[in-house]
Structure 1
Amino acid sequence: MVAMPRILDLREIEGTPVTIEERLSGEPLWQADGTSPRLTTIHIDSMIEALAALAEIPGDPPLRTLRMLPDEPPFDPNAPFETELAALVTRRAVRFATQLRVALPDVDVLLAQTVEALHRIAPATPTLIHGDLIAANVLTSRAHASAVLDFGFMTTAGDPAFDVAVTASIFDMYGPRAREVESELDRAFLSTFTGDHRRYWIYRAAYALTTACCYGTDLSEGHFAWCIGMLDRPDVRDSLQG
């Protein structure tokens, strides 16, 4: 069984809310260190176990009170995740249009294609989305996932395929074999979870447009550069064509 954080108390320290939570057992599956991991069955199976555990939690309306990003409103609990995500993508891309256009001149075309693609996706039954399921946020014990940590960034209720798609891409964001790791996880995830590869790429484009400017607004910042690279990939652009 994969454990999730349980809040025992809520306190305020110098004006900042702080949760007191149970300590969960296990060790991080993998810590990013500038290299690319050689994926083992433990890596793959643990991520699948974590994603499956999240997908078993119904996406009830109270989960939509969580803000995917601190400066954005929460999603409407009565609206499809896909259309709410399209609105978020639009707000972020418009807000940071100047910075995005410097790095990617045709970003306005990609924005329109991404929003159109999101509106074409058939709404999925919502479940809990972690949104930032890097390997360090999955604890393992005895070669199995024991816990999932660090909810908050991009957490909401929505299509579990969003978590699956993003997780495969962010497992190894900056290593020399990142694309190879992503492809290997894609194969494993697609054979386990329902969905299609094109849906993954649409969600990856949405993630990149939404989060590109969260930490910086030029190519000297790693996450921004990663997002621009994702949006400039032929596989992403082909999937947005419809």
Structure 2
Amino acid sequence: MSTHPVGADQLDRLRAAGYPVTHEVGRGMEGMVAALDEERVVKVWDRRPRVEVDRLRAFYDAVHDGLVEAGVELAVPRILDVGEVDGLVVTVHPLLPGRAEDDLGPGPVVDVLAGLSQVPVHPDMALLPVPDGERPFDPSVPFGASLADLVLRRAELLGDLLADGVAARMAEALRAVPPVPPRLVHGDLGPVHVLLESGRPVGLLDFGYVSTLGDPAFDAAVAACLQDMFGPGAAAATAALDDLVVRRFDHDPAVLVLYRAAYGLVTASCLVGHPGRHMDWCLDLVDTWAGA
């Protein structure tokens, strides 16, 4: 598939292709979103091929149906239609309610975690690669074992950035985590992904980085460290959410630290070509576990 940079004339291209968009809503790492009408938006994907978008569509349909079945009132960006404009995949999504807030606080995140844990599982929730370029996790395999194998593969990309033996020790610890019935895992639950209305979570964005069926404790662990990644209160924010999820869901605090380290290692391996503050933060998660 050919690719074109998203430029100022992208709205005109969409209109010429039959999408009567009104204005640009935002831009992300994967493309541009424009308003189609009062109920729908259009996304132009910079790089995603059609086969990946179709897979994401099936995933979101399963998540949506599961949320409805569980009675959890969280909207997700389902893909209502798929097309192509100038060689780029174009998708139509519902306009979700609510808005993201930087100062989210731990309460709404815990509510989202509780909602996700109630969603009945469906095979299509395990369709996505974990992460891009890898294969999907098999929900019949214990989550810790799948994550251990992933850690060992991704550690090879980091080379000398990891201390000797750290990846092997991490994999051994992950395989020792007691298996739990798999549940829906967002995998990258940062504050910007939760949409609020009157302080209540009503929408959830950006599944797809490490979204799968797995251990809900992984979601809780990652959500805690994403509360405040770089601010002076980062450690306190992580500890506060850890405390809440331990009391509410009975997660093992040591497993939370271990899962954060695995998330850090995998994410660092995706950033090898882009060293900087984010990659250093990821490796700090590994070091925190390794030095515990």
Q: Is the 8 A contact 2:113 2:220 kept in 1?
A: yes
Shift of 1:15: 4.4
Question: Is residue 2:270 matched to residue 1:222?
Answer: no
| Residues 13 and 66 of structure 1, relative CA distance in 2, 3 Å threshold | farther
CA contact (8 A) 1:217 1:224 kept: no
Secondary structure of 2:82's partner?
strand
| Whole-angstrom distance in 2 between the partners of 1:88 and 1:19 | 30
Deviates more, 1:79-88 or 1:158-167: 79-88
Q: CA deviation at 1:215?
A: 2.7
Give the corresponding residue for 2:66.
none
Aligned letter for 1:155? Answer: S
Aligned equivalent of 1:110: 166
Q: Distance in 1 between matches of 2:110 and 2:150?
A: 27
Write the distance in 2 (CA, Å) between the matches of 1:57 and 1:18: 29
Q: In the superposition, relative to structure 1, how do residues 79 and 163 fare at CA in structure 2: closer, same or farther (>3 Å)?
A: same
Other-structure match for 2:19: none
* 8 Å Cα contact 2:268-2:283 kept in structure 1: yes
* 1:89 and 2:144 correspond: no
Q: Does 2:84 align with 1:12?
A: yes
Task: Establish whether residue 237 from structure 1 lines up as the match of residue 265 from structure 2.
Answer: no
Q: In structure 2, what is the equivalent of residue 25 of structure 1?
A: 97
Matched, 1:61 2:123: yes
Partner amino acid, structure 2, of 1:47: V
The separation in 2 between residues aligned to 1:171 and 1:62, in whole angstroms, is: 29
Cα shift at 1:238: 5.4
Which letter maps to 2:256? Y
Which secondary structure does the structure 1 equivalent of 2:201 belong to?
strand
Letter in 1 for 2:100: P
Post-superposition CA distance 1:9-38 (Å, at most 9, x none): 1223444444321111111031xxxxxx5x
Gaps of 5+ in 1: 31-36
Partners of 1:45 and 1:222 in 2: CA distance = 27
TM-score by length of 1: 0.84
1:131 aligns with 2:187: yes
1:213 and 1:97 map into 2 onto residues whose CA distance is 6
Q: Distance between the aligned counterparts of 1:125 and 1:159, measured in 2?
A: 7
Please tell me the residue identity of whatever aligns with 1:75.
F
Secondary structure of the corresponding residue to residue 212 of structure 1: helix
Q: Deviations over 1:96-148 (max 9, x none)?
A: 142xx1x34x2x31111110011111111111111111101001111111111
With over 3 angstroms needed to count, the CA separation of the structure-2 counterparts of 1:58 and 1:86, relative to structure 1, is: farther
Give the structure 1 partner of residue 201 of structure 2: 145
Paired with 2:183 and 2:85, the residues of 1 have a C-alpha distance of 32
2:85 and 2:184 map into 1 onto residues whose CA distance is 28
Identity of aligned residues (%): 38
Equivalent residue for 2:13?
none
Q: Would you say the 8 A contact 1:61–1:78 is kept in 2?
A: no
SS in structure 2 opposite 1:28?
coil
Counterpart residue number, 2:132: 70
> What CA distance in whole angstroms lies between the structure 1 residues aligned with 2:222 and 2:170?
15
- Name the Cα RMSD after superposition: 1.9
Given residue 153 of structure 2, which amino acid in structure 1 is its aligned partner?
R
Query: Relative CO higher for 1 or 2, CA cutoff 8 Å, sep ≥ 6?
Result: 1
Q: 5+ residue gaps in structure 2?
A: 1-72
**Structure 1 pair 127/15, CA: closer, same or farther in 2 (3 Å)?**
farther
User: What TM-score does the superposition give when structure 2 sets the normalisation length?
Assistant: 0.70
Return closer, same or farther for 1:78/1:178 CA change in 2, 3 Å cut-off: same
Computing the radius of gyration from Cα coordinates, the structure with the larger value is 2
